Amino acid sequence: MADEIVISIDRLWKRYGLPLIPALRRGRQRLRSLGSRQNPQSAIGNPQQDGPWALRDINLEVHRGETLGIIGRNGAGKSTLLKVLAGVTPPTRGRIKVEGRAFPMIELNAGIHPDLTGRENAYLLGAIMGVPRQEMKARMPEIEEFCELGEWFDRPVRQHSSGMLARLGFGVAMHASADVLLIDEVLAVGDFAFQKKCINHMTQLSSSGVTALFVSHNPYIIERMCDRVILLQNGATEELGNPMDVIYRYFQMGMNHSADFNGGLPANLRPGTGDLRIQKVEILSNNGLPTQEVVTGDALTIRLHYMTTESLWEPQFSIRIFDPQNTMVISLESTVARKGIELSGGGYIDCSVGSFPLMPSVYTFQIKVGAGVTLDMYENAAKLVVRPLPEALVDSGNKGIVYVKADWDYRPRTALTQE
């Protein structure tokens, strides 16, 4: 059952453009002819230059009950791939095959009529999916309970927020007996509790044999939900494999695109009184040399170079570390207030970390200095690339944000009785 191929994609190419009706085709050929006579190298004379490819030579098989994550930068072709699979747009070349009933959640308002109530739209979405009305009627109490819309379930959806629309769409999708779910980022608009509810329900559906393709920019949801991940770049497959390896490759690509990291605003434009300004932030490796890359578990020192305009008594330093989703994952607070330290002129303060615990990704630093009032607020003060530790990826299978090295002790019942 699990080995059954539900989605098959063979040499898929997709390019958007004007439909080639006969008159348009003749006009385009005429333009190419003119262009080639004037300039043989002209792009208009090249039949391969009709427009950029949105998808390029995609080959993929997805099995029953598998959840496949799709990630990539904006414009990589993620949504286009789902639209082709949903039949919204045809492939330019290649073949696709989807077994069973597919439920696409590509846009929040797709298939939803604004003047109908949530309940009426649930029936409408079911009809579009080919679900008999009697079956939808039997499932309606479950859908209504899942959506948690209360009295809004019987109000016109033009009065609904985007989060309510997401609840309605997911409520129908989760109970429409679909064989394949095609989900494009719409989960991001739901609140935290509803996201968790959807993730748990999708896990149950996967166990029952439902296949899902899931587009998201949130690597933590992708890692949590997906069995495999495909990374798209310029419409082509950059990598396909287990979630952690592919997500790390995605972060590497982001690191390359952010090579022009400029270190934030200059001191005179940053918030704060300016009585103390951070001049430079250095990250030192365990051998004391400046670096922008460490391995999970390495020792490192964060050195803050400062300059004051007057003597300051016991200022507080705060180093906040953010992941690519702009979520603060670590906050390091100084304890100089209990040491009676006075700063005057220039110098630096070191914050030493014996074992940096964050999993592979690209992190940015925010530095805040205060003494009753904010003296300096330095956004994007530094960038740190954390590379994988082999043990973290292979031996322990550790996932998530923080790497924790743990030892396991197995005590069979026979050993316990002998004691």
- Collapsing DSSP to helix, strand or coil, 120 comes out as helix
CATH topology of domain 268-395: Coagulation Factor XIII; Chain A, domain 1 (2.70.50)
Please state, in angstroms and rounded to a whole number, the distance separating the CA atoms of residues 172 and 174.
6
**In terms of Cα–Cα distance, which of 81, 91, 86, 121 is closest to 101?**
86
CB 177 within 8 A of CB 101: yes
Residue whose pair of structure tokens reads 């080919």 in the numeric block? 130
Q: Return the structure tokens found at 160.
A: 């609904």
pLDDT of the residue at 195: 80
> Hey, which residues does 142 pair with through a beta bridge?
none
pLDDT of the residue at 229: 95
Does domain 5-256 fall into CATH 3.90.650.10?
no
DSSP string, 254-291: HHHHTTT---SS-GGGSSS-SSEEEEEEEEE-TTS-B-
**In terms of Cα–Cα distance, which of 110, 109, 98 is closest to 68?**
98
> Hey, which residues does 236 pair with through a beta bridge?
233
Residue whose pair of structure tokens reads 């009032």 in the numeric block? 373
Residue boundaries of the structural domains of the chain? 5-256, 268-395
Give me the tens of pLDDT residue by residue for the chain, a chain 419 residues long: 567 999 999 999 999 865 555 555 555 556 555 544 444 443 333 444 456 899 999 999 999 999 999 999 888 999 999 999 988 899 999 999 999 888 888 876 677 888 999 999 999 988 887 888 999 999 999 999 988 899 999 999 999 888 888 888 888 888 888 899 998 876 666 677 888 888 888 888 888 899 999 998 888 888 888 999 999 999 999 999 988 888 888 887 766 555 445 567 888 889 999 999 999 999 999 899 999 899 999 999 999 999 999 999 889 999 999 988 888 999 999 976 567 788 999 999 999 999 999 988 889 999 999 988 999 999 999 999 888 776 544 445 567 788 887 788 887 877 556 65
Q: pTM for the whole thing?
A: 0.75
DSSP element (H, E) containing 27: helix 22-38
